[in-house]
Chain A
Amino acid sequence: MEGIVGYGAYIPRNRIKVEEIAKVWGADAPSYKKGLMLEEKSVPSPDQDTITMAVEASKNALKRAEIDPIDIGAVYIGSESHPYAVKPSGTILAEALGSTPEVHTADFEFACKAGTEGMFVALNLVKTGVVKYGLGVGADTSQGAPGDALEYSAAAGAAAFIFGREKVVAEVLDTYSYMTDTPDFWRREYEYYPQHGGRFTGEPAYFKHIMGAAKGILKKAGMEPQDFSYVVFHQPNGKFPFKVGKKLGFSKQQIEPGWLVNKLGNTYSGSSPMGLTATFDVAKPDDHILLVSYGSGAGSDAFILKVTSRIDEVRNLAPLTRSILDHNKNYLEYGEYAKFREKIRKAD
């Protein structure tokens, strides 16, 4: 059966703490920490972007897949921070991995859902036999305007998944998508930072679509929350995944292994895919995992995965996600962070 043959994650080593950001804006750090359940977030270095992180995560996925990269017939990156407005990210990634020239490439964009879109298409191309292997990546150097609530969460990271038919680490048993036109968060062309509808991003946006996708796939597959060992939801802040999990009947224990946001922040297109990599890191053969992404605009993709015995063979072929998250950290002051994120701009 088709499924994931290799997975990998990447997180930049820079971090900034909620207190450091709150100090600059005169905000009450304890309120943010308690209200949003956030402690710190990752920050890309000046020479890192969606493409470099996608390359790192994909290399980790290749190590676990143990395949020849030339056999990858489809390369898809989902991001809302592609470095170029016109010029693909995917070509650079495919070139860096050694998958060119017989490869189909596309860049996806659907707010925080773009990663699972790439995964969805790569999976289905494998399923239909068009390609032998397909790569789907979610990566972002997320933007949040200075002083906006988003600045406490907008982070950087990537997760990559190679789909194939043999030596599968996790079978994809089912997929389901749920979407409507709901303008809760957007960034127009030539704008540097996204705008959002405040509390409108909650109930009618995040919760409605995640609940819709989760309920839809459970019904389609004839499964219940208790049939799953783990569940991963999109993580815009610490609170939302637990809240939506509770509404759907999932326990804290099912969510926690893939809940990275308190120390990682919201990596937008990378968010729920990175949670899935951390969940694979602790999963056992035959565990069922539910993944539900969320992208503003708005929609959710849901995947039901069943882990195989191959997980134990590949897990340690690349760094574990929590190990990348917890080690080799470099804490930034707000000034360095502002420089790294190009919040300080020189006149030409």
Chain B
Amino acid sequence: MRDVAVIGIGMTKWGELWEKSLRDIYVETALLAIDDAGVDHIDSMYVGSMSSGIFVGQEHIASLLADYLGCAPVPSTRVETACASGGLALRLGFMEVASGMSDIVLVSGVEKMTDVGGDKATYALGTAADQEYECYHGITFPGLYALMAVAHMNKYGTTREQLAEVAVKNHRNGSKNPLAQFPFEVTVEDVINSVKIADPLRILDCSPITDGAAAAIICPVEMAKKLNKPVVKVIGSGHATDAIAISQRKDMTWLEATYRAGKSAYEMAQKKPKDIDVFEVHDCFTIAELCVMEALGIVEKGKSGEAVEKGRTAIDGDMPVNPSGGLKSKGHPVRATGIAQAVEIVKQLSGESEERQVKGARIGLTQNMGGSGASTVVHIFEKE
């Protein structure tokens, strides 16, 4: 297997991009990554994709986006594993470069979610849960994560305030991210008193509906060196699945797929959780960040709330999590999220994260998951 490096990244301001279409957002972002890499062609591309058919009535987007990017006839592949589609696009691109089949690969994700109303967006997202055993009974994602939150509170004594602290931290980080959808700070009181969505989760516990894209160019490390690029290597990649329906899991507070994807990535990278300087994880809801921290082995089971409360996951803490603002503040255009996490880690390891820079970060990890955790992709990056 060849070693793989990220040599270009692209991301534009996320939010409610009323005046841009899916293809506008995509092309703008992908061109930024291509420019950043300084390459004159790509050999192949992957587009993370969840529900473009429902959100904008367009399937077959791999070819559409290759064409609008001016890259047809390169092979272009759409990847779908719910909200982890972006992460999986990176993994497949990584495998293609590592195997020697292609040299320069564009990995990307884009979502245009605001062309539909809230009800339809909720429906589209809900298709990532188990239709027969969950959705038909009326539950939506906030409800599923609320069940996980209640279970975590009952089992470990996690408090309402500790959940709020996740949002407070991520908004504080996001307020320093010029590309974030909601770059403002919130307090614990704001979170606890915000509009109730699914008890105990309030609206400020939930990631937003977002339009946005993210893209990265990867190539063999040897080629990156020839291009005179600072080399951020992808040193570990893991992917795992779990039961889609949370009722089918042994423990509702435990994300088995995240644990297994993390284990694979740690093993490939020959690193341990304590070796990681900075984490970007999938905080689609505040409770998700807590469960992910435990499954990745950053903290012991049941200790995540306390760690956040003590500031250990803040930018200046001993285990910084989501310096970008996370899904909560930066936004969550579902299939772009996994790539955006990689974009942030590359910036962090290159020392380009400005006010939200984790000092001396050299090794970073991304964790991107789909649905209520039934698919997870983990990557570990290292600055050479």
Contact = CB atoms under 8 A, between A and B. Distances in A.
Interface string B330-359: 000000000000000000000000000000
A28 B195 CA distance: 8
Interface string B114-129: 1001100000000000
B16 A199 contact: yes
Given A197-B117, A198-B118, A199-B114, A28 B18 contact: no
B contact patch SS: loop
Interface residues of B, number: 8
A34 B16 CA distance: 23
Nearest to A197: B117
Contacts of A196: 117
Contact of B16 (A28, A31, A203): A203
A306 to B, nearest CB: 37
Contacts of B196: 28, 30-31
A146 interface: no
B18 A34 contact: no
B259 to A, nearest CB: 35
Interface residues of A, number: 12
Contacts of A34: 195
B139 to A, nearest CB: 14
Given A199-B16, A204-B18, A35 B117 contact: no
A203 B18 contact: yes
A297 to B, nearest CB: 15
A25 interface: no
A204 B117 CA distance: 15
A200 interface: yes
Contacts of A203: 16, 18
Nearest to A184: B18
B116 to A, nearest CB: 8
Nearest to A196: B117
Interface in B102-118: 114, 117-118
A200 B114 contact: yes
A30 B202 CA distance: 13
A146 to B, nearest CB: 13
Interface in A3-34: 28, 30-31, 34
Contacts of A200: 16, 18, 114
B62 to A, nearest CB: 28
Q: Could you say which of B19, B114, B117 has the most chain A C-beta atoms within 10 Å of its C-beta?
A: B117
A30 B195 CA distance: 8
A200 B116 CA distance: 9
A35 B16 contact: no
B31 to A, nearest CB: 25
A199 B16 CA distance: 9
Interface string B1-20: 00000000000000010110
A282 B342 CA distance: 60
A30 B199 CA distance: 14
Contacts of A197: 117
Interface string B29-55: 000000000000000000000000000
Nearest to A35: B195
Interface string A25-56: 00010110011000000000000000000000
What 9 pairs across the A-B complex have the smallest Cβ distances? A31-B195, A198-B117, A204-B18, A28-B196, A198-B118, A35-B195, A31-B196, A197-B117, A200-B18
Interface of A: 28, 30-31, 34-35, 196-200, 203-204
Given A200-B114, A203-B18, 12 more contacts: A28-B196, A30-B196, A31-B195, A35-B195, A197-B117, A198-B118, A199-B16, A199-B114, A199-B118, A200-B18, A203-B16, A204-B18
6 contacts: A30-B196, A34-B195, A196-B117, A198-B118, A199-B114, A199-B118
